[in-house]
């Protein structure tokens, strides 16, 4: 075991974990929690996947400020010697070394060996802060490549200009993508710590001069176009540092300037670095763990860091934000408090698809104010554009993925008392989404208003979505997955309706939530794609993805989060359900609980993607909680790496897999996503001697909720007995209400299962044996 010098949660975070195969928004170093700025090195820039910072890539191409879902921008790069800015990143990129490299929350330091430059990066929420240490040279440059292709696509247009000898400003317009349907701007305002000696500009690979026929070699001071850029030149002495601050905004250059000067009004790089460190430590300290190995703590706090990182603030320091939901861009304003400051930021995020088994649970426990911010964003977008989104980007509706995962998100928030938004508008918007014309009716990657690939007319009238329906475009062939998700989302909406006293809606949506039964085939014993005439499709295999979204029937047949009791009945009762589920884990463990392209017969589980990430906790509902304890442990161990070549093994997806890792490590989960009118937590075995969740007093009355283990949890997997606040506790679950009051859950562990503890399942539909 390594010697542990780290004393604070933030010290355990390792951003390099599994960064050998990054996704654009995955790797972040100089970023605040949910920061608008996500400043880090980019080694690969030409794809949404396999881009950003990849550990084994040989070159750093730039340092860019936005690593968000479908968003990128503002590439900066220091160079020395022959000017190559106009030749593009392939020419001006630099080799780098991991020797001396540091990456931790809020800070990155790396050596550019081609230029003998040390680069250091930190940030506030809306401003990046660069510190470059140059060698002796009269050709030291800082490039601002506003036309650069970054991740998701090229720039539709860009413009950059000199404001003064220490200031540069400009904007870039990100070209639309298949997910973000409109060109979207980002504005920036830069300040340099030292007046630059000269300005160079280029367009379409050519340097631009004031007058090509003149002997004057100075360049013009403003340039625009698709492939444009600017550089400033310095004469530097050996070891001289030049600092650069970059404010960004999606509203205007003036707003970018306001963000910069409102957040970083000085040149003390170390001060901003320390403030970022402290902010991260405060957030990570909401959950404190004691005991456990060094490796467990590193993975735990890195998981938690990811869960507080991947989704981005897009509103300015004064609460202004860009609204692209209508026919033309509009500037909107978030609600302000009595002090004139924004109550919540406006956010950018991928769909909540699958977040009911990750972020919804974690945030509602330890970070309810974060859920409030996202709820406010969605209600504001409904107010602005008429739909509650499932994944906005740059103020656009994206219709990424399927269904309406915003409903489970809101159900968890509302039913846990997180309600600082217009709840009536919330309900109105969610109810709209549950019928034809709502967001469910728009399938993934479909932006046409009249396409409606989500199949809600079939779901409403037939109770399922048929596989042989005509398709125009989009991603509407996942008919079983959509039917299952709609049924769960109906149940979630029913839970909100019940809590709001809307009895008729409660009964209506509860009845409709049973539609999952319409795609259960008792002959195959799987969820099975079905035709319009009620016949089952012939070319069916539980390992084929036809009819399923990023999954198959072997996995998605368990996707009934709201009625595990009913599903157990369909599968033949508790024993048959438990045996079948156990066999799925046995068959898939050799492959790390991941699907295998060469051996699809092992594709019984998938803990590298969202649809199956609740499966290990379902044994609690079958009266075999010791199997939940066992398989949660085995799955977690499969993702325990803390090196650049493992740890997530797939799609971390803006903190979802990180949040799942946290929940597994602390031993709490909610198979129904916490959306019930009276939420509960299911218990598994924690990985630490003690877990303390500090409660937000603005939302919950208690100080903290503690989970203590007796006997080393690293060696002992199984719960023998338990107490809750000193009272003997024989259930494998407890109410959220008890959690919010604070208290202590104590678990006595052993290396042998106790098959009499916790065998009464959590609340669900009454199971007919």
Taken in order of first residue, the domains within the chain and their CATH numbers are: 13-282 (2.70.98.10), 286-311+349-683 (1.20.1610.10)
- For residue 442 the two structure tokens come to 């728009």
* Residue 213: predicted pLDDT: 47
Return the closest-CA partner of residue 408 out of 150, 674, 155: 674
Diameter of the chain measured on Cα atoms? 93
- CA–CA distance, 264 with 260 (Å, rounded to integer): 6
* Residue 767: predicted pLDDT: 32
Measured in residues, the chain has a length of 769
- CA–CA distance, 76 with 73 (Å, rounded to integer): 10
Please list the alpha-helical segments (H only) found in 367-405: 368-385
Return the closest-CA partner of residue 222 out of 206, 205, 200: 200
Return the closest-CA partner of residue 729 out of 711, 704, 748, 713: 748
* Residue 220: predicted pLDDT: 59
Q: Which residues of 364-389 are buried (b: 16+ CB within 10 A; e: fewer)?
A: bbbbbebbbbbbbbbbbbbebbebbb
The secondary structure of residue 682, as a DSSP letter, is: E
* Regions of the chain short of the pLDDT cut 50: 1-4, 210-219, 597-598, 766-769
The 10s digit of each residue's pLDDT in 678-703 is 999 999 999 999 999 999 999 999 99
* Residue 602: predicted pLDDT: 60
* Residue 489: predicted pLDDT: 98
* Residue 6: predicted pLDDT: 57
Distance (Å) of CA 285 to CA 3, 63, 66, 366, 418: 21, 29, 26, 10, 21
- CA–CA distance, 680 with 415 (Å, rounded to integer): 11
Classify 177 as helix, strand or coil. Answer: coil
The 10s digit of each residue's pLDDT in 542-598 is 998 899 999 999 999 999 999 999 999 999 999 999 999 999 999 999 989 987 544
- CA–CA distance, 56 with 435 (Å, rounded to integer): 48
Q: Which residues of 445-461 are buried (b: 16+ CB within 10 A; e: fewer)?
A: bbbeeebbbbbbebbee
Residues 238, 55, 124, 240: what is their CA dihedral angle, to the nearest 10 degrees?
Answer: 0
* Residue 764: predicted pLDDT: 78
Radius of gyration of the chain (CA): 27
- CA–CA distance, 289 with 667 (Å, rounded to integer): 12
CA 531 to chain centre: 35
- CA–CA distance, 32 with 13 (Å, rounded to integer): 14
Q: 471: which residues sit within 8 A by CB, 6+ positions away?
A: 453, 477
Predicted TM-score (pTM) of this structure: 0.96
- CA–CA distance, 663 with 671 (Å, rounded to integer): 12
């Amino acid at each position: 075991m390594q010697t542990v010098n780290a004393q604070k949660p933030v010290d355990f975070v390792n951003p390099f974990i599994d960064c050998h195969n990054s996704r654009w928004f995955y790797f972040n170093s100089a970023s605040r929690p949910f920061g608008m700025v996500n400043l880090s090195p980019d080694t690969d820039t030409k794809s949404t996947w396999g881009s950003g910072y990849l550990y084994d890539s040989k070159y750093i191409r730039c340092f860019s400020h936005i690593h968000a879902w479908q968003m990128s921008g503002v590439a900066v790069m220091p160079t020395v010697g022959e000017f190559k800015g106009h030749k593009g990143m392939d020419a001006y990129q630099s080799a780098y070394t991991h020797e001396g490299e540091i990456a931790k929350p809020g800070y990155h330091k790396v050596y550019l060996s081609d230029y003998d430059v040390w680069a250091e990066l930190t940030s506030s929420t809306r401003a990046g802060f660069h510190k470059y240490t140059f060698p002796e040279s009269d050709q030291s440059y800082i490039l601002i490549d506003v036309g650069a292709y970054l991740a998701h696509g090229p720039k539709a247009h860009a413009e950059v200009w000199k404001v003064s000898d220490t200031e540069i400003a400009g904007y870039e317009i990100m070209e639309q993508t298949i997910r973000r349907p409109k060109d979207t701007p980002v504005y920036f305002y830069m300040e340099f710590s030292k007046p630059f000696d000269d300005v160079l500009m280029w367009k379409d690979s050519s340097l631009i001069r004031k007058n090509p026929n003149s002997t004057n070699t100075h360049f013009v001071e403003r340039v625009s176009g698709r492939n444009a850029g600017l550089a400033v030149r310095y004469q530097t002495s050996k070891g001289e540092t030049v600092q650069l601050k970059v404010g960004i905004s999606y509203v205007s250059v003036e707003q970018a300037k306001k963000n910069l000067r409102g957040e970083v009004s000085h040149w003390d790089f170390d001060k901003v670095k320390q403030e970022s460190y402290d902010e991260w430590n405060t957030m990570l300290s909401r959950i404190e763990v004691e005991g456990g190995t060094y490796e467990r703590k590193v993975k735990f706090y890195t998981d938690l860091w990811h869960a507080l990182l991947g989704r981005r603030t897009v509103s300015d320091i004064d609460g202004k934000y860009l609204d692209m939901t209508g026919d033309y861009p509009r500037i909107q304003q978030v609600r302000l408090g009595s002090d004139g400051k924004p109550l919540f930021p406006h956010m950018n995020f991928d769909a909540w698809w699958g977040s009911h088994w990750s972020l919804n649970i974690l945030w509602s426990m330890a970070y309810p104010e974060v859920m409030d911010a996202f709820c406010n964003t969605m209600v504001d977008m409904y107010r602005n554009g008429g739909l509650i989104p499932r994944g906005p980007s740059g103020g656009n509706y994206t219709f990424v993925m399927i269904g309406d995962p915003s409903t489970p998100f809101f159900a968890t928030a509302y039913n846990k008392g997180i309600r600082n938004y217009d709840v009536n508008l919330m309900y109105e918007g969610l109810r709209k989404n549950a019928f034809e014309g709502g967001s469910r009716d728009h399938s993934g990657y479909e932006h046409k208003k009249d396409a409606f690939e989500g199949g809600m007319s079939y779901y409403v009238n037939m109770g399922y979505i048929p596989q042989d329906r005509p398709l125009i475009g989009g991603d509407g062939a996942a008919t079983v997955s959509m039917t299952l998700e709609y049924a769960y989302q109906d149940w979630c909406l029913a839970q909100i309706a019940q809590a709001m006293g809307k009895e008729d809606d409660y009964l209506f949506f509860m009845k409709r939530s049973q539609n999952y039964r319409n795609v259960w085939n008792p002959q195959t014993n799987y969820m099975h794609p079905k035709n319009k005439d009620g016949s089952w499709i012939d070319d069916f295999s539980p390992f084929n993805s036809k009819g399923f979204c990023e999954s198959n029937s072997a996995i998605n047949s368990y996707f009934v989060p709201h009625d595990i009791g009913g599903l157990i009945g369909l599968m033949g009762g508790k024993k048959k359900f438990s045996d079948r589920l156990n066999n799925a884990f046995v068959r898939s463990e050799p492959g790390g609980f991941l699907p295998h392209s060469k051996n699809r017969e092992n594709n019984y589980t998938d803990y590298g993607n969202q649809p199956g990430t609740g499966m290990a906790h379902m044994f609690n509902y079958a009266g075999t909680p010791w199997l939940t304890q066992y398989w949660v442990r085995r799955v977690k161990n499969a993702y325990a790496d803390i090196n650049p070549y493992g740890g997530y093994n797939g799609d971390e997806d803006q903190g979802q897999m990180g949040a799942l890792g946290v929940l597994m490590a602390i031993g709490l989960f909610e198979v129904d996503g916490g959306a019930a009118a009276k939420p509960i937590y299911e218990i598994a075995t924690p990985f630490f001697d003690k877990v303390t969740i500090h409660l937000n007093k603005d939302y919950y009355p208690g100080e903290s909720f503690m989970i203590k283990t007796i006997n080393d949890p690293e060696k002992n997997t199984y719960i023998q007995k338990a107490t809750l606040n000193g009272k003997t506790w024989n259930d494998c679950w407890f109410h959220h209400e008890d959690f919010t009051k604070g208290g202590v859950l104590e678990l006595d562990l052993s290396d042998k299962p106790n098959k009499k503890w916790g065998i009464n399942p959590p609340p669900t539909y009454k199971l007919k044996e």
